[in-house]
Chain A
Amino acid sequence: MRLFVSEGAPGSLPVLAAAGRAQGREELLISTVGPEECVVPFLTRPKVPVLQLDSGNYLFSTSAICRYFFLLSGWEQDDLTNQWLEWEATELQPALSAALYYLVVQGKKGEDVLGPVRRALTHIDHSLSRRSCPFLAGETESLADIVLWGALYPLLQDPAYLPEELGALHSWFQTLSSQEPCQRAAETVLKQQGVLALRPYLQKQPLPSSFEGRAVSNEPEEEELATLSEEEIAMAVTAWEKGLGSLPPLRPQQNPVLPVAGERNVLITSALPYVNNVPHLGNIIGCVLSADVFARYSRLRQWNTLYLCGTDEYGTATETKAMEEGLTPQEICDKYHAIHANIYRWFNISFDIFGRTTTPQQTKITQDIFQRLLTRGFVFQDTVEQLRCEHCARFLADRFVEGVCPFCGYEEARGDQCDKCGKLINAIELKKPQCKVCRSCPVVKSSQHLFLDLPKLEKRLEEWLGKTLPGSDWTPNARFIIRSWLRDGLKPRCITRDLKWGTPVPLEGFEDKVFYVWFDATIGYVSITANYTDQWERWWKNPEQVNLYQFMAKDNVPFHGLVFPCSALGAEDNYTLVSHLIATEYLNYEDGKFSKSRGVGVFGDMAQDTGIPADIWRFYLLYIRPEGQDSAFSWTDMLLKNNSELLNNLGNFINRAGMFVSKFFGGCVPEMVLTPDDRRLLAHVTLELQHYHQLLEKVRIREALRSILTISRHGNQYIQVNEPWKRIKGSEADRQRAGTVTGLAVNIAALLSIMLQPYMPTVSATIQAQLQLPAPACSILLTNFLCTLPAGHQIGTVSPLFQKLENDQIESLRQRFGGGQLEESLELKAKAPPKPAVVEAMATAGPQQIQVLTDEVTKQGNIVRELKAQKADKNQVAAEVAKLLDLKKQLALAEGKPLETPKGKKKK
């Protein structure tokens, strides 16, 4: 046998490992060929590795070569192994070659590389953990393990691409990597250069075509078909039969909520929004809404939960805004704090506390942490050159200086960045600097500042991360960001600023300075809790009993995952540190970015003016939550998801289930006699419910929402197949069957209402009121599907839950938020209740104009009728009809009515 390999060809890895593992009895000669050499005479395109057999035949598939070695040792393959190999060839390889190509040839990093393979990695992880076997095809190692290990090794040997949350994959990979044949193969192929050893081969390969140009997608991932065993079915049925009796007693509402020893205590924070910005949809989904879903879920699990947030109010930006609006910074904060609070109230965010950072507690706690850091030698002084305006008698923050860009000569470059060339600028490098306030020329002065000595704290941080990260639910992007900061080494960071609006620095010589916002903003969570209860230390100095979940967008990761932990570790005061850092990617708007200055995108305060209920917004934002990759808000997609998922799937199912109970059984849940099919459905629903729990426990909010929709789809199918509306008219047996189907369906609806509660609280409450779901069942979600509406239970009045979104309605919203009117609308919002732009446009069309248009429509209508009556030329008629339609459209717009569209069958 002769094996042909090529420098850096990834296929060599599994082949060499399999050869080593199987210890082929025959002699194996190895020849190295160039990546473009055609070894196999009958293949047009070069292919390595290739095994030439003694018969003269060629094996050119990597898996087939590995299989051959195994077969020679007498190891046959079972169905499961075959299945893994087929999956490897059809699913894993395309994804993996794209990832390797991005990494090795294009030099991309992070999510760009991990993105294409994430789903495949998750699939392996789930399969391993579901079967709870150490190997892919069972208790012992098989061909599948070698082939998949060899394929994955080049990527996964870099820990950056082996997501830590995939625990089962992790241990499987480690087990295999530590085996001798695998180790030897890895050394031979990668030559200790890591993945870069593949470059000579990969750069000769064409770009993997199937992954080229994949756009940001909001489409759901495939739903895998579940397999059910008899035991699973039996267990689901037993749990169901126990019904309401198995619910534990409700935990009494506490005020204030405090941790309880021996219970699961969950402290949830959402990144503090900066006070003078109105948050856009991306901000909302990034932190407050995501955290809200988790907080509501946590309460449904009866965990002891405290959810807090507040506005971040100190800093230059507030001062600037105050100057612009002619108010004091405090007045600005008061005004905008109220705007924020209103927006979140409208979105139904269930904060236990929504506080603010400008409080005496903030000063007290920040100064205390600072003093502790100072006495422990983690703070030092240094001189910084800065611009000072003598006229205003103050040092100028970057945003208060303008001048000529030293790089491109742009006249209005800011002190921190040039808007034209985008380069970062050190304010003292600006040519012809000007104070933005008085326009006089500032001078360079040196100023003393305090620095947090992060390098001194780095070791403690790494120790803490080493204990915290494994097994935690930190999102992959957060882990990646923290890892790359640590890799580059931490640098001292300045923690003071020459400002007035901030937490004062309690140190002689620093009376005119305040703490830099990033030092004290994260302390805001602590001070907000302190304002809520004087026993705040039970939450914040209690790392043993408290699980801290922090939600944010990825740009906030360094402050929460590095800087605050360093401050807290340095303060040596037993602070509770983040256990699970949940960071989202970015949400784009249509195909671009949200932009306040260009007036593009939907901002928190405008969502309520669209007439679309808060729960629909919540649903759609959570459906497209940028989890794992960036996603995009799209109006059309929102319409689609509302009409397909909410109206046709979820709403349709719940409404039908309820209607059958009211119409056929007088509102009284009928007797249920379960058939094997029903039991199977029970088990399917239970399985999906457990999946939902698994996902939400790991804060995979977007994916867990799919489970709800899947159950509802199961429900719809169940009704569709069993046709209770027909059977109700049939024989006694048929009527009984109709009863069972209806009873089971309405119980699924009840379960859905609870599962939906974290996502759509208002809709959930509406369903529960319609079904008269008993109170304890509304507030607790167990891991089993229970019969919460037993036979004889009386339900309330059932009515449709969702409304159809129409094309023209969405189209006009898209135009309204596409850009332009936003600034104006923002202004309005701050002063008076806003009027939607569309309403304004309508208002300009006065009654007179409407009258004129109405007349014209009538006139044109007559013309068309006459022409038709005279059987005039077709083209002529068509032209006049077009005119008529156009006039009608204008009229409809002027009257503010939706355009008449052909009416289809109304859905429930």
Chain B
Amino acid sequence: MAAAAELKLLEKSLGLSKGNKYSAQGERQIPVLQTNNGPSLTGLTTIAAHLVKQANKEYLLGSTAEEKAVVQQWLEYRVTRVDGHSSKDDVRTLLKDLNSYLEDKVYLTGYNFTLADILLYYGLHRFIVDLTVQEKEKYLNVSRWFCHIQHYPGIRQHLSTVVFIKNRLYTNSH
């Protein structure tokens, strides 16, 4: 998904009615937002955080110092690791790490839904749709988290719903 399209999606999720215009910069098509008279903003997570503030939903950036730092950490993870030139192996490591991280968590910050969940959901969507049933079961915590986020009100928009099976088929894979 192009960054500009993703930001459009985020705008809708945040309930921002007035659509912004985005351009793309360079080979990696980094999104640029031209703000009114102010300087332009460059970069997916930068613009996303800006939109959250625009929508007066600052709580999505975390409430405590710890939460704020954790949100930014996962946003950085999203643009450096998830968007990197991921080989099959990289994706496997990424899902494995995330799976073990989410073992005791509902959301990326623990108990609160944040922008990190939204952008990581958007970023991982292309990998998760391609997972086999067995793989989804292997990354069980990721699947649980992903399924939860895609059903979070207003987040999924036009993205396809990924189907997760409730009962386990490969019991010894874990």
Among B65, B68, B77, B96, which residue has its beta carbon within 8 angstroms of that of A61? B77
CA distance A68 to B62 in the complex (A): 12
Q: Is A79 at the interface (CB under 8 A from chain B)? A: yes
Whether a CB of chain B sits under 8 angstroms from the CB of A80 is yes
Q: Is the CB of B49 within 8 A of A82?
A: yes
Whether A383 is near chain B, meaning CB under 8 Å from some CB there, is no
Contact with B along A418-432 (1 / 0, CB 8 A): 000000000000000
User: Within 8 Å CB of B65, what residues of A?
Assistant: 68, 71-72
8 Å CB contact of B101 from A42, A68, A82, A222? A42
Whether A67 pairs with B39 at a CB distance below 8 angstroms is no
Q: Are A79 and B73 in contact (CB under 8 A)?
A: no
Contact yes or no, A225 B43, CB < 8 A: no
- For A44, A53, A55, A61, the residue with the greatest tally of chain B CB atoms inside 10 Å of its CB is A61
Are A87 and B42 touching (Cβ within 8 A)? yes
Interface string of B57-83 (1 = CB under 8 A from A): 000000001101110110011011000
Tell me the smallest distance from the CB of B51 to a CB of chain A, in Å. 10
Q: Mark A870-908, 1 if CB is under 8 A from B, else 0.
A: 000000000000000000000000000000000000000
The proximity string for A residues 194-238 relative to B, scoring 1 for CB distances below 8 Å and 0 otherwise, is: 000000000000000110000000000010110101100000000
A67 touches B72 (CB 8 A): yes
Scan B144-163; emit 1 where CB is below 8 A from any A CB, else 0.
00000000000000000000
Q: Is the CB of A57 within 8 A of B70?
A: yes
Nearest CB in chain A to that of B75: its residue: A86
Decide if A67 touches B69 in the complex (CB within 8 Å). Answer: yes
> Taking the complex as formed, is A532 at the interface, i.e. its CB lies under 8 A from any CB of chain B?
no
Contact A64 B73 (CB under 8 A): yes
Given contacts A79-B46, A79-B49, A87-B43, contact A55 B66 (CB under 8 A): yes
Looking at the complex, which one of B41, B72, B97, B98 makes contact with A83 (CB distance below 8 Å)?
B41
Given A57-B66, A83-B41, A87-B42, decide whether A63 and B72 contact each other with a Cβ distance below 8 A: yes
CB within 8 Å for A89 and B76 given contacts A57-B66, A82-B45: yes
Smallest beta-carbon distance A229→chain B, Å:
7
Interface hits, A60-80 → B, CB 8 Å: 60-61, 63-65, 67-68, 71-72, 79-80
Q: Which of B26, B49, B73, B110 has the most CB of A within 10 A?
A: B73
Shortest Cβ distance from residue B85 to the other chain A in the assembled complex, whole angstroms: 7
Chain B, residue nearest A219 (CB)? B27
Chain B residues within an 8 Å CB radius of A53: 66
Which residues of chain B are within 8 angstroms of A93 by Cβ–Cβ distance?
80
Q: Say yes or no for B34: interface residue by CB 8 A criterion.
A: yes
A541 to B94 CA separation, bound complex (whole angstroms): 67
Q: Which residues of chain A are near B96, meaning CB under 8 Å?
A: 44
B172 CB-CB contact with A under 8 Å? no
Q: How far is the CA of A230 from the CA of B38 in the complex (A)?
A: 10
Q: Is A59 an interface residue (CB 8 A)?
A: yes
Query: Does A90 have its Cβ within 8 Å of any Cβ on chain B?
Result: yes
Q: Which residue of B lies closest to A55 (CB)?
A: B66
Closest B residue, CB atoms, query A82 = B46
Q: How far is the CB of B104 from chain A (nearest CB, A)?
A: 9
Q: How far is the CA of A209 from the CA of B84 in the complex (A)?
A: 11
Question: Is B50 located at the chain interface by the 8 A CB criterion?
Answer: yes
Residues of chain B within 8 A of A80, CB atoms compared: 39
Q: Is the CB of A83 within 8 A of B43?
A: yes
User: What residues on A are CB-neighbors of B134 within 8 Å?
Assistant: none
Judge if A726 is at the interface, Cβ distance under 8 Å. Answer: no
State whether the Cβ of A43 lies closer than 8 Å to any Cβ in chain B. Answer: yes
The complex places the Cα of A210 from the Cα of B65 at a distance, in Å, of 33
In chain B, positions 86-102 with a C-beta closer than 8 Å to chain A are 93, 96-98, 100-101
B25 contacts A225, C-beta separation under 8 Å = yes
A90 in complex: contacting residue of B39, B69, B79, CB < 8 Å: B79
Q: Whole-angstrom distance between the alpha carbons of A794 and B27 in the complex?
A: 43
A64-B79 CB under 8 A given contacts A222-B25, A227-B39: no
Residue contact B46 to A68, C-beta cutoff 8 Å: no
Q: Which of B30, B42, B70 contacts A59 (CB 8 A)?
A: B70
Give the nearest-CB partner of B27 in chain A. Answer: A222
Give the residues in chain B near A71, CB-CB below 8 Å.
Answer: 65, 68-69
CB pair A43–B97 under 8 Å, yes or no, is yes
Residue numbers in B under 8 Å from A222 (CB-CB):
25-27
Given A72-B65, A79-B49, answer yes or no on A229-B37 (Cβ-Cβ < 8 Å): yes
- Which of A86, A90, A209, A210 counts the most B-chain CB atoms under 10 A from its CB? A86
Contact A42 B72 (CB under 8 A): no
Q: Contact between A42 and B100 (Cβ–Cβ < 8 Å)?
A: yes
Q: What's the Cα separation between A224 and B25 when bound, in Å?
A: 7
Q: How far is the CB of B93 from chain A (nearest CB, A)?
A: 5
A89 and B80 contact, CB distance less than 8 A: yes
Known contacts A80-B39, A87-B42, A63 near B76 by CB under 8 Å: yes
Q: Does B4 touch A at the CB level, under 8 Å?
A: no
Complex contact A230–B37 (CB within 8 A): yes
Q: Which residues of A contact B49 (CB under 8 A)?
A: 79, 82
> Is B140 interfacial (CB 8 A cutoff)?
no
Q: Is A45 an interface residue (CB 8 A)?
A: yes
- Give the CA-CA distance A44 to B101 in the complex, in Å: 11
B residues less than 8 Å from A249 (CB atoms) = none
Q: Is B56 an interface residue (CB 8 A)?
A: no
Contacts of B32 on A, CB cut-off 8 Å? 225
A509 at the A/B interface (Cβ < 8 Å)? Answer: no
- List the B side residues contacting A90 at CB < 8 Å: 30, 43, 79-80
On chain B, the residues within 8 Å of A224 by CB distance are 25
B173 within 8 A of A: no
B40 CB contacts on chain A under 8 angstroms? 225, 227
Residues on the B chain within 8 Å of A252, using CB: none
Least distance between B11 CB and chain A CB atoms (Å): 16
Residue of A nearest to B99 (CB): A42
Contact in complex: A60, B43 (CB < 8 Å): no
* Other-chain contact of B76, A42, A86, A209, A225 (Cβ < 8 Å): A86
Question: Least Cβ distance of A338 to chain B in Å?
Answer: 48
Indicate whether A68 sits within 8 Å of B66 (C-beta atoms), given known contacts A90-B43, A222-B26.
yes
> Is A41 engaged at the interface, CB distance under 8 Å to the other chain?
yes
A135 to chain B, nearest CB (A): 15
Q: How far is the CA of A617 from the CA of B44 in the complex (A)?
A: 41
Could you say which residues of chain A place their CB within 8 Å of the CB of B97?
42-44
A513 to B18, CA, bound (A): 84
Q: Closest Cβ of chain B: how far from A142's Cβ, in Å?
A: 14
| Contact status of A61 and B42, CB under 8 A, knowing A44-B97, A68-B69, A79-B49 | no
Closest to B77 in A: A61
Q: Is B23 an interface residue (CB 8 A)?
A: yes
Q: Give chain A nearest CB distance to B59 CB in angstroms.
A: 14
Contact B26 A65 (CB under 8 A): no
Question: What residues on B are CB-neighbors of A72 within 8 Å?
Answer: 65
Distance in angstroms from B55 CB to nearest chain A CB is 14
Among B42, B93, B96, B110, max chain A CB count under 10 A is at B42
Cα of A90 to Cα of B66 in the assembled complex, Å? 23
Interface hub of A43, A68, A82, A210 (most chain B Cβ within 10 A):
A82
Specify which chain B residues have a CB less than 8 angstroms from the CB of A225 in the assembled complex.
23, 25, 32, 34, 40
Chain B residues lying within 8 Å of A64, measured Cβ to Cβ, are: 69-70, 72-73, 76
User: Can you give 10 A-B contacts (C-beta < 8 A)?
Assistant: A61-B76, A64-B76, A79-B50, A80-B39, A82-B50, A83-B46, A89-B76, A89-B79, A225-B34, A227-B39
- Given A45-B93, A80-B39, 19 more contacts at CB 8 Å? A44-B96, A57-B66, A57-B70, A60-B73, A63-B72, A64-B70, A64-B73, A67-B72, A71-B65, A72-B65, A82-B43, A83-B42, A85-B72, A90-B30, A90-B43, A210-B85, A225-B23, A225-B32, A229-B37
Residues in B lying within 8 Å of A, measured CB to CB: 23, 25-27, 30, 32, 34, 37, 39-46, 49-50, 65-66, 68-70, 72-73, 76-77, 79-80, 85, 93, 96-98, 100-101, 103, 110
Interface residues of A (CB under 8 A from B): 41-45, 53, 55, 57, 59-61, 63-65, 67-68, 71-72, 79-80, 82-83, 85-87, 89-90, 93, 209-210, 222, 224-225, 227, 229-230
Closest 6 CB pairs of A and B: A64-B73, A71-B65, A68-B69, A86-B43, A42-B100, A222-B26
